[in-house]
Chains A and B, each alone.
Chain A
């Protein structure tokens, strides 16, 4: 029988529903976009099927891709609203404050296995920096994606908003490459992200994974970034 330990922990309410809903929509959308994107680049072989029985496969895949993309962008608006009303949703790393670099170094040394532990955080500064990186990748995907999408009619309003991307990248062909390569980079991020979350959940047992469902984390020591949340988050 495993021994039980009684200890005092504080409950922090961090993530609002806006961030949590957006996060899961983002997960579904990115997986959908990635898989359909691969199909669009290399449509599967249907040679051998009689034309009578084919059913607009590529068209469906493209439409699902576009649907996922628009859902993703729409969900971003929820995310921005959450960012405005809830301090816990403000994940952008505080790069303008000196302690961010100290803390990031501390966490990085731990991840490089040079230090056995790192200081307690509600929202790990290195992770927050990686989310900023992810948002840059996502922004590139949105810009290049819409640049290709709206180019079907170069005289439309959408293309007047996004066609400059093709000009900046010199060539619409380059837009396709960038869109494709950045999609793979997002996958690499996803692997790292899922691993780090699982690792934190197992090693620190502070509710890292469940916080994206419940919005709360349980910490034994006072985290260094608790001040960012304000008083109301504590003990909810």
Chain B
């Protein structure tokens, strides 16, 4: 899109972020301020600022192709609400977003042709952002756009990308369409990415600043950020919500909301007993929060549903602690107590039968020996 604006310029002479600032007559001061914001949002220490400035001055704007599979476009919705930097700043001055279903003004055949042209022109250099699950059943016919299945577009775009970013739980592990019984055979995109470096950014949706942070890290340093064993950036997914939650002291003190409308809930006590998935969920909600630190689900009084976990839709009733076997049989502890009770009754019955058997055996023996058993 941006290339059309620049008219007949050679595509190889791509602008850096600093070039864009110059062209628009923006000050060096606002450029450095932008770099400071980027540094902190990438989760880097301020020592890294000179490197970020250098990269922003010299590196051409990264070309980003953003494709969509099986999903709700909620990740895009989250992305455009990024506050630091503003999503508009990011799209207009910090990356060259060449293809995106949601944000594109163009449409139809020219738009699809532009995707092909971008892949050709920037082979091995562009960043591929993927939102949504890959639909695998019946050759992927349940998710098509422009006459191609999503899996085919994904495979082709990923093979030629410098790095792939999987945005949202759908792209990482299939999300809601992969929930049981998964009629379309949806899965995460990893199996279609091949050898291209992949970074997973789960969440339903991910936090906007996490999304912009990851794409800027790839853009400025040319590599994916440090990731953990499951391919998630450590700086954003290295802590449990439970361990970073501002309500944790209430957990430690044993002060729990018992229902959504009791005094504990009103007082802002821990939501553990209402099924909060904080103890199993790794995300930045506790420290970054959402929408410029305004709030996050727990702060708003709703227990965490663990939306960055791979199979959170199938983990059972979201308002219950350890619910998997609760429905339809009953509480795990009640089942356990019942089994223990049955065992105890069985043991008692066995004891009684054993005594009867022993007495019978002794009587028989006594008869045989013709002597009194005294033991």
Interface residues, chain A, CB within 8 Å of chain B? 2-3, 5, 38, 41-47, 49, 51, 54-59, 61, 111, 113, 116-117, 151-155, 163, 167, 170-174, 176-177, 180-181, 183-184, 187-188, 191-192, 195, 199, 203, 205
Contacts and interface: CB of A to CB of B under 8 A. Distances in A.
Interface in B265-304: 267, 272-273, 277, 279-280, 282
A54 to B, nearest CB: 4
Given A113-B357, A173-B306, A205 B375 contact: yes
Contacts of B351: 195, 199
A26 B272 CA distance: 30
Nearest to B347: A195
Interface in B232-274: 234, 238, 240, 243, 251-256, 258, 262-264, 267, 272-273
11 contacts: A41-B333, A45-B256, A49-B255, A56-B253, A59-B252, A59-B253, A113-B357, A155-B228, A163-B229, A167-B230, A191-B343
Given A42-B333, A47-B264, A181-B336, A113 B354 contact: yes
Contacts of B309: 171-173
Nearest to B238: A154
Given A3-B374, A180-B332, A192-B347, A58 B254 contact: yes
A116 B282 contact: no
Considering the complex of A and B, which 10 residue pairs feature the smallest CB-CB distances, nearest first?
A: A57-B254, A184-B336, A59-B252, A116-B361, A172-B280, A195-B347, A3-B374, A54-B253, A58-B254, A173-B315
Interface stretch (B108-116, B187-195, B207-215, B318-326): B318-326
Contacts of A56: 252-254
B339 interface: yes
B322 A188 contact: no
A188 B280 contact: no
Contacts of A183: 336
B1 interface: no
B332 A57 contact: no
B358 interface: yes
B340 interface: yes
B310 interface: yes
Nearest to A51: B255
A205 B373 CA distance: 15
B240 A151 contact: yes
Contact of B336 (A54, A55, A116, A187): A187
Interface of B: 228-230, 234, 238, 240, 243, 251-256, 258, 262-264, 267, 272-273, 277, 279-280, 282, 306, 309-312, 315, 321-322, 324-325, 332-333, 335-336, 339-340, 343-344, 347, 350-351, 353-354, 357-358, 360-361, 374-375
Contacts of B325: 177, 181
A156 to B, nearest CB: 11
A169 to B, nearest CB: 11
A188 B340 contact: yes
Nearest to B375: A5
Given A171-B310, A191-B340, A195-B347, A54 B254 contact: yes
Nearest to A7: B375
Nearest to B374: A3
B240 A43 contact: no
A177 B332 contact: yes
Contacts of A155: 228, 234, 238
Contacts of A192: 343, 347
B340 A203 contact: no
Contacts of A43: 254, 256, 272-273
Contact of B357 (A57, A58, A116, A180): A116
A47 B344 contact: no
A214 B335 CA distance: 38
B245 to A, nearest CB: 12
B339 A154 contact: no
B332 A171 contact: no
A19 to B, nearest CB: 25
A58 B253 contact: yes
A236 to B, nearest CB: 25
A203 B333 contact: no
B233 to A, nearest CB: 12
A181 B230 CA distance: 26
Contacts of A199: 350-351, 354
Contacts of B347: 191-192, 195
A153 B240 CA distance: 8
Given A38-B333, A42-B273, A117-B361, A184 B311 contact: no
A113 B228 CA distance: 57
B253 A41 contact: no
A69 B118 CA distance: 58
Contact of B229 (A49, A55, A167): A167
Contacts of A57: 253-254
